[in-house]
A and B are shown apart, each in its own frame.
Chain A
Amino acid sequence: MTIKTKKINGKELEEIKARNIKGNTLDGKVKKYKVTVHLGTCGIASGADEIKKQVEKEIKEKELKNIIFTTSGCVGFCSREPMLTIKEPDNKMITYYDLDEEKVSVIFKEHLIGGKIAESLNPINSSSELVSFYKYQVSRVLHNRGEINSFRIEDYIAKDGYKALIKALDKSPQEVIEIVKESGLRGRGGAGFPTGIKWEFCKNAKSKTSLKYVVCNGDEGDPGAFMDRNLLESDPHSILEGILIAAYAIGAKKGYIYVRAEYPLAIKTLENAIKQAKGYGLIGEDILDSGFSFDLSIFQGAGAFVCGEETALLKSIESKRGMPVPKPPFPANEGLYGLPTLINNVETFSNVAQIILKGANWFNSMGTDKSKGTKIFALTGAVNNVGLVEVPMGMTLREIIFKVGGGIKENKKFKAVQIGGPSGGCIPEEYLDTPIDYEKVQEVGAIMGSGGMIVLDEDTCMVDFARFFMDFIQDESCGQCVPCRIGTKRMLEILTRITEGNGEEGDIEKLEELGKMIKETSLCGLGKTAPNPVLSTIKYFRKDYEEHIETHKSCKALHRKAKIKKV
């Protein structure tokens, strides 16, 4: 990938856009079809690299001159990878899925050469069944998914990229903060703190050295969550633009994006994106001739779940053990190296550019009273359509699972949906009409969390499932405070005992008591929320626990565990 190094201004940004915007145009060249192979982590693991090679080979061998061939990040439909999309001359998108060598040959023969959609492959277009996966979604944060090559900054610019930055730099920092406040955007990392207010705290914080930092939290450790990975892989510049706007608003000169080491492709994409943005002078000194300067680097995690907690994450950037520290002081006042630090999640930053570009009212016209805009969920487990979905706040869980997700696999019965990862809880059928909203989700015993959504069917043993999370937390607890270190261990022992058929009378009450104590007395968010999966399953699925204890049977003996694994 060649990196252009020419500092640009607003006018030149428009010129780049003009060269890339029209239909199937790439750097000024207009072609009939644009073929995009989707190369996200899931896609590559499913063989998308081979598909890419085959497409390149066929184009060359058949000497097809009317095609632009490109790649992009994933389109979010993980269970149907590998996929490719053909953009027709009239901008219609036709997506082919579950590809193999044979299917690609058919696509070439019938569609790209023959000029007709290869209906035998049942592609996703307006008439197909699978379209329901996309029909109920809204593409706001994910509006570029599958459409831009994440390794080309020009593709992002063509979709109005970095225009919000120009707009923000024309305003005063306080005006930018007011827009974000008015939009009602709340932190997408899980806790839902109002973003604009956080920015304002940080702007007003006094720094000992006049230095302030912006940190992007991409340490997406929740098992079952991959929203951030997807955003980093498929639209990295939207995150960079959000960070730049935030840095300008609070007056920061230096920033870090903390990405977990488990995401190699995300790191590679991001490294390239930062290089390209630096090449155009969009990161660096005197950005877009505005006088605003900012430097940004990536910090790779080294494998510790607790580093998703903001104070632990900052310790990790300082190259220390990732141990949380008590709040206050909040990072906005005393963060990285003791200086004011704004820390927001990847998805939060991804929302910013569009809010600046389209206005606070555009953003808050969607959603509920207190939760505005959209939320991205990683929908997995026993649903038919597994993938990354973006839905308006206020949509009910039932709609997400049964409409977007296409219902439960093999026509089984729904049992529960787990949201919020190890800090969240399991929601049973009777609360499926709960709308997606920070407060409403909390009322039923879960948390919004970062957006993992795991659907469980009737065969799942909830005790075993709760034990899985406790095992995870117990292993990932940093160990500095007693309730979390020892309390989670004791809870795990009891849960293991129950699932092995050795549960005792009174175990459920012990779990409840321990859970309550750990919640109240732990130091950080990890410990304070660790008992949630257990407490919520006791609340809604007490029968599963009682059955184990009364019959003295293990999960296997209850014929559950064996079934779980066939989901």
Chain B
Amino acid sequence: MGCLVRVKDLPKYALKDWEVGKVKEIISKYKNDKNSVIPVLREIQQSIGFLPIDVQRMVADKLKVPEKDIYGVVTFYSFFSMVPKGKYDIRVCMGTACYVKGGGKILSKIKKELGIEPGQTTRNRKYSLQINRCLGACGIAPVVVVNDKILQKVNPKKIMDIIYSYD
């Protein structure tokens, strides 16, 4: 479940002012309700792209939930990331239909080309890579999602051209 990240192994990242402001704004929207940890984290994740320890502390403090519980939730769910997502977030579907139709080949191709593993982001923060567990679009497998765009019947040979064409 999720991946265990040692906090000391995470790249240091100083939150920018707008990010701190955004986080505060989101937390206050939920009126410090401790039952809304997941919605709060999701909104922050969507807004600033990741949930570093500093942000988790802010959430813990405001919602009056122990820090360890926030960390527990962040590391449990695959949509939460402690590493900043890239400008282009690439998600490769590895559901059964996609796997049977070559999802693995697509994943290896992207890994090799970008030099990152699933869960990582390239140094220039342009691309991040994740594995997705079935998007339920099996009729058009294999599927890759770049940000909100769903790519269907992807050919491993062409995938990088498509990804690079967005930039």
Contact surface of A with B, Cβ cutoff 8 Å: 41-42, 44-46, 78-79, 81, 220-226, 228-230, 261-264, 299-306, 316, 318-322, 378, 380-382, 386-387, 418, 421, 452, 454, 456, 460, 465, 468-469, 472, 475-479, 564-567
B97 touches A322 (CB 8 A): no
Closest to A387 in B: B139
A262 touches B140 (CB 8 A): no
Closest to B3 in A: A475
Partner among B37, B100, B140 whose Cβ is within 8 Å of the Cβ of A78: B140
Decide yes or no whether B132 CB sits under 8 A from chain A: yes
A226 touches B148 (CB 8 A): no
B42 touches A224 (CB 8 A): no
Residues from chain A with a CB closer than 8 A to the CB of B138 are 78, 224-226, 378, 380, 386
**Residue in B41, B95, B136, B143 whose Cβ sees the most chain A Cβ within 10 Å:** B136
Closest to A378 in B: B138
B8-16, B20-28, B77-85, B158-166: which one contacts chain A? B77-85
Partner among B69, B100, B133, B136 whose Cβ is within 8 Å of the Cβ of A226: B136
Q: CB within 8 Å of A: which of B105-150?
A: 105, 132-141, 143, 148, 150
Closest to A469 in B: B96
CA distance A511 to B151 in the complex (A): 37
A476 touches B97 (CB 8 A): no
A229 touches B136 (CB 8 A): yes
Partner among B80, B95, B96, B104 whose Cβ is within 8 Å of the Cβ of A418: B96
B141 touches A380 (CB 8 A): yes
CA distance A305 to B94 in the complex (A): 13
Partner among B39, B95, B136, B139 whose Cβ is within 8 Å of the Cβ of A79: B139
Decide yes or no whether B7 CB sits under 8 A from chain A: no
CA distance A418 to B35 in the complex (A): 39
Q: How many residues of B contact A (CB 8 A)?
A: 44
CA distance A228 to B135 in the complex (A): 12
A45 touches B152 (CB 8 A): yes
A304 touches B1 (CB 8 A): yes
Q: A223-B134, A468-B99, A472-B133 are in contact. Are A302 and B140 (CB under 8 A)?
A: no
CB distance from B92 to the nearest CB of A (A): 13
Partner among B38, B136, B140, B141 whose Cβ is within 8 Å of the Cβ of A319: B38
Please name 6 pairs of A and B residues whose Cβ atoms are closer than 8 Å in the assembled complex, sorted by A: A225-B134, A226-B138, A302-B38, A302-B78, A304-B77, A478-B76
Residues from chain B with a CB closer than 8 A to the CB of A220 are 136
Residues from chain B with a CB closer than 8 A to the CB of A452 are 96
B39 touches A300 (CB 8 A): yes
Residues from chain B with a CB closer than 8 A to the CB of A45 are 137, 140, 143, 150-152
A261 touches B79 (CB 8 A): yes
Q: A261-B79, A306-B1, A477-B1 are in contact. Are A42 and B139 (CB under 8 A)?
A: yes
Q: A304-B1, A479-B1, A564-B100 are in contact. Are A221 and B80 (CB under 8 A)?
A: no
Residues from chain A with a CB closer than 8 A to the CB of B102 are 565-566
CB distance from A442 to the nearest CB of B (A): 20
Closest to B4 in A: A479
CA distance A46 to B150 in the complex (A): 9
Closest to A386 in B: B139
CA distance A223 to B98 in the complex (A): 9
CA distance A38 to B95 in the complex (A): 24
Residues from chain B with a CB closer than 8 A to the CB of A566 are 102
Q: A41-B150, A264-B148, A319-B37 are in contact. Are A224 and B76 (CB under 8 A)?
A: no
